[in-house]
Amino acid sequence: MFDFDATLPLMAVQFLLLTALLNLVFYKPLTKALDERDAYIRNNQATAKESLARAESLVKDYEAQIAAARKESQSILEKAQAAAREIVAQKIAEAQKEVQAQKEQAADEIQQQKATALSTLEQQVDSLSRQILEKILGPELVR
Amino acid sequence: MEILGSLTILNTFTLAELEVGEHFLWKIGNYTVHGQVFLVSWIVIGALLIASLAATRNIQTVPSGIQNFMEYVLEFIRDLTKNQLGEKEYRPWVPFIGTLFLFIFVSNWGGILVPWRLIELPSGELAAPTNDINTTVALALLTSLAYFYAGLRKKGLGYFKRYIEPTPILMPITVLEDFTKPLSLSFRLFGNILADELVVAVLVLLVPLFVPLPLMALGLFTSAIQALVFATLAGAYIHEALEGHGE
Amino acid sequence: MDINSASVIAAALAIGLAAIGPGIGQGNASGQAVAGIARQPEAEGKIRGTLLLTLAFMESLTIYGLVVALVLLFANPFT
């Protein structure tokens, strides 16, 4: 079982040969392939990162534009609302004025009618009192 | 061997046989070589080479099929090495540590998953190459050489200062460490793989059907962990040599 | 006692005694790992990886005992 003989050196030489052969047909080409793929992937990654950055800057631009547009629309809306409010206030004021005027007119009319009514009433009171006096004192005395 | 002989006499199934320490010996000049280890290791090496060739024959930017799988394997190995050696130093050591991991892992799993026993050899039997002490010692010695090489390359002869660096009194311990590192590396791998095969073999001897299956699954798990441990430790030793003691 | 039976007993002792320490150690480590997972469930993956690695290291101590046992059984240098 522990008999050393020429197997040992021959095996060592054979193993070294195998190492050299495998280095030629296995390690070198595949290592090269792996490294090339690594470089390729790194390249692609770099370009991808670049385009990602570009896309991000584009997105930022668009977002800024959107924000500006939103602000503009906001201001337009506010302006329109203010105008509308103004118009409403004006209309209300006008209506109130008109109402006031009508009210005053009506009050004037009432006052006038009251005055005429009072004057007719006075005349009637005068004629009535004259008639009463005529009745009581006689017509000749009254004159 | 006598103990085992009495065990195998009891055994009526010829499918289940315990054979430990028998080898399919080849003679090259004056030297003997364990043929079964080399046969299986060639299959393992062939499988690795075919898989990597199939993966890299037509490399595409968007991987699919086997290229995807092998890239996953490579990334796993690179992570392992990076964890041990750090971001700065790991790249030149990926092939060595990765090949250690792949070779041990494929050997271990091949030894369990492929029914080698169905192929008859004149003596010995086909199994995972890592259940032979020669293989594991070879790998461990290569790891030792690798970390010596790493230290010498980084610091020149100043690398040897680490033996006397805190105090020269500790020198025997640091020298001893250089011997125990490959010893423990090789014995850990060898013992785990051989123990697993022995346990499965003994269970097959007792109950030939189904009962050994959970243990074989456990063997898959432990052998994967052992491959990982071997590669991790190799990385840790190399890192230690690169960093030095004092820093 | 002849050398064969002594070897068999020694092998049994080697693996049996070598299993004690790692058993205690593995129990400790697993318990601490479970406590760690209970305290921080999000770190489970990392804890499990480290735990498996350390368990393999402790396991290898038993394996050394096993190797010695195997040496005594199958490659005994004294017979």
Q: How far is B185 from chain C (nearest CA, A)?
A: 9
Task: Enumerate the residues of chain C whose CB falls inside 8 A of the CB of residue A1.
Answer: 70-71, 74-75
**Measured between CB atoms, does C78 come within 8 Å of chain A?**
no
Question: C63 in contact with A at a CB cutoff of 8 Å?
Answer: no
Contact C67 B187 (CB under 8 A): yes
Where does B156-209 have alpha helices with state H?
Answer: 171-206
Pick B139's closest partner by Cβ from A15, A30, A37. Answer: A15
HSE, CB side, 13 Å, CA atoms: give it for residue B230. Answer: 37
Distance from CA of C3 to the nearest CA of A (A): 19
Neighbours of chain A (3+ CB pairs under 8 A): B, C
Q: Model confidence at B7, in pLDDT bands (50, 70, 90)?
A: very low
Q: Do C64 and B187 touch (CB under 8 A)?
A: yes
Nearest residue to C68 (alpha-carbon basis) of B112, B157, B183: B183
Please check the confidence at residue B13 and state whether its pLDDT lies above 60.
Answer: no
C74: which chain A residues are within 8 Å (Cβ-Cβ)?
1
Which residue out of B134, B142, B149 would a mutagenesis test of the A interface target, given it has the greatest number of A Cβ atoms within 10 Å?
B134
Looking at the DSSP bridge assignments, the partners of residue B26 are B33
Which tens digits make up the pLDDT trace of A28-37? 888 888 888 8
Q: Does residue C59 register a pLDDT over 80?
A: yes
A38 vs chain B: nearest CA distance in angstroms? Answer: 10
pTM of the complete model beyond 0.80: no
As for the ipTM of the complex, it is 0.80
Please list, in sequence order, all residues whose beta carbon lies within 8 angstroms of the beta carbon of residue B82, skipping any fewer than 6 positions away. B90
Look at C67 and B191 and tell me if their CB atoms are within 8 Å.
yes
B127 Cβ neighbours under 8 A, 6+ residues apart:
B36, B40, B111, B116, B197
Q: Do B229 and C74 touch (CB under 8 A)?
A: no
User: Which run of H or E residues covers position B27?
Assistant: strand B25-28
Using CA atoms, how far apart are residues B174 and B197, in angstroms rounded to an integer? 35
Which residues from B are below 8 Å from A36, CB to CB? 61
Listed by number, the residues of chain B in 94-123 with a beta carbon closer than 8 Å to a beta carbon of chain A are 94-96, 98-99, 102-103
Q: Which residue in chain C is spatially nearest to A1 when comparing CA positions?
A: C75
Residue in chain B closest to A34 (alpha carbons) equals B71
- The least confident of B4-8, B61-65, B87-91 is B4-8
User: Is pLDDT of B14 > 60?
Assistant: no
- In angstroms, the CA A1 to CA B27 distance is 18
Half-sphere exposure of B60 (CA within 13 A, CB side): 8
Tell me which residues of chain A, numbers 60 to 119, contact chain B at a CB-CB cutoff of 8 Å: none
d(CA B56, CA A26): 7
Q: Which residue of A has its CA nearest to C75?
A: A1
pLDDT of residue A140: 75
pLDDT band at B30 (very low <50, low <70, confident <90, very high): confident
Q: Is the pLDDT at B15 greater than 50, yes or no?
A: no
In this complex, do A30 and B31 lie within 8 Å of one another by their Cβ atoms?
Answer: no
Please tell me which chains touch C, using 3 or more CB pairs under 8 Å as the contact test: A, B
Give the per-residue pLDDT at B177.
84
Q: Give the chain B residue whose CA is nearest to the CA of C55.
A: B225
Query: Do the beta carbons of residue B189 and residue B103 sit within 8 Å?
Result: no
**Which residues in C lie closer than 8 A to residue B194 (C-beta atoms)?**
67, 70
At residue B39, does pLDDT exceed 90?
no
Most B CBs within 10 Å: which of A26, A40, A41, as the mutation test of the B interface?
Answer: A26
> Which chain A residues are within 8 Å of B41, Cβ to Cβ?
11, 14
Both tokens assigned to A113: 């009618």
| pLDDT surpasses 80 at A3 | no
- pLDDT tens digits along A31-67: 888 888 889 999 999 999 999 999 999 999 999 999 9
